[in-house]
A and B are shown apart, each in its own frame.
Chain A
Amino acid sequence: DAGVIQSPRHEVTEMGQEVTLRCKPISGHNSLFWYRQTMMRGLELLIYFNNNVPIDDSGMPEDRFSAKMPNASFSTLKIQPSEPRDSAVYFCASSSTQGIGELFFGEGSRLTVL
């Protein structure tokens, strides 16, 4: 089975541009998570969806960040406008259980904002 698929793998953009990161969770998984990883702050949870509904977005840094999950097989994380401090690796993860259990991570999208 295919794992969590993220695109793009790498993106380099200029400050002020809009960035859209995409994620396809594992088929049948009902929970989806966006994490951000930086050297300064490690792995931080940004937002969590369950059955396509955002459950906890307290980790979203500010209004420039938004995430959507229009259906069970697709999610986007958008940054508009982007800033150099947004440079990081963004991971999407999915999970099949409502309770507790393993999260399956994608390979990440490395974003560089110049």
Chain B
Amino acid sequence: GESVGLHLPTLSVQEGDNSIINCAYSNSASDYFIWYKQESGKGPQFIIDIRSNMDKRQGQRVTVLLNKTVKHLSLQIAATQPGDSAVYFCAENRGLNNAGNMLTFGGGTRLMVKP
């Protein structure tokens, strides 16, 4: 029979353009968020993080925006390069007692960069 898998949203962009990847989270108690990049055959790699007392944080070519009102997180990549092609995951720390660094991951978005 046909198998049903997790459908990964895909964003296709031209090299040099800016990319915006979106993520919705569900728990209003979440107080810390991370974006990870996962290339084929590798483990997730940290890109950028943001705490809930901020609404914007910038890194090198990347910016994370947090809108707590609508529980929305976005990752902006400037001047997207072929090496940015990967699956991107947002993750949240739900701020539970004794949860420590326990992160819950979203389903991921596949970014494809066309040369």
Interface centre among B4, B43, B108 (most CB of A within 10 A): B43
Near B by CB (< 8 A), chain A positions 14-59 give 31, 33, 35, 38-43, 45, 48, 50, 55-56
Inter-chain contact B100/A31, CB cutoff 8 Å: yes
Inter-chain contact A33/B102, CB cutoff 8 Å: yes
Quick check: is B31 within 8 A (CB to CB) of the other chain? yes
Residues of B within 8 Å of A107, CB to CB, are 41-43
Near A by CB (< 8 A), chain B positions 92-115 give 93, 98-108
Inter-chain contact A105/B45, CB cutoff 8 Å: yes
Quick check: is B34 within 8 A (CB to CB) of the other chain? yes
In the complex, which range does the number of interface residues on chain B fall in? 20 to 34
In the complex, how many residue pairs between chain A and chain B have their CB atoms under 8 Å apart? 70
Residues of A within 8 Å of B31, CB to CB, are 100
Near B by CB (< 8 A), chain A positions 60-89 give none
Inter-chain contact A40/B100, CB cutoff 8 Å: no
Interface SS of chain B: loop
How distant is B59 from chain A, measured CB to nearest CB, in Å?
13
Please, could you name 23 A-B residue pairs with CB atoms under 8 Å apart, sorted by A?
A31-B100, A31-B101, A35-B105, A38-B6, A39-B5, A42-B6, A42-B105, A42-B106, A42-B108, A43-B44, A43-B105, A45-B104, A48-B100, A95-B100, A97-B101, A100-B100, A102-B34, A102-B46, A103-B34, A103-B103, A105-B43, A105-B45, A108-B43
Q: Which residues of A contact B (CB under 8 A)?
A: 4, 31, 33, 35, 38-43, 45, 48, 50, 55-56, 91, 93, 95, 97-108
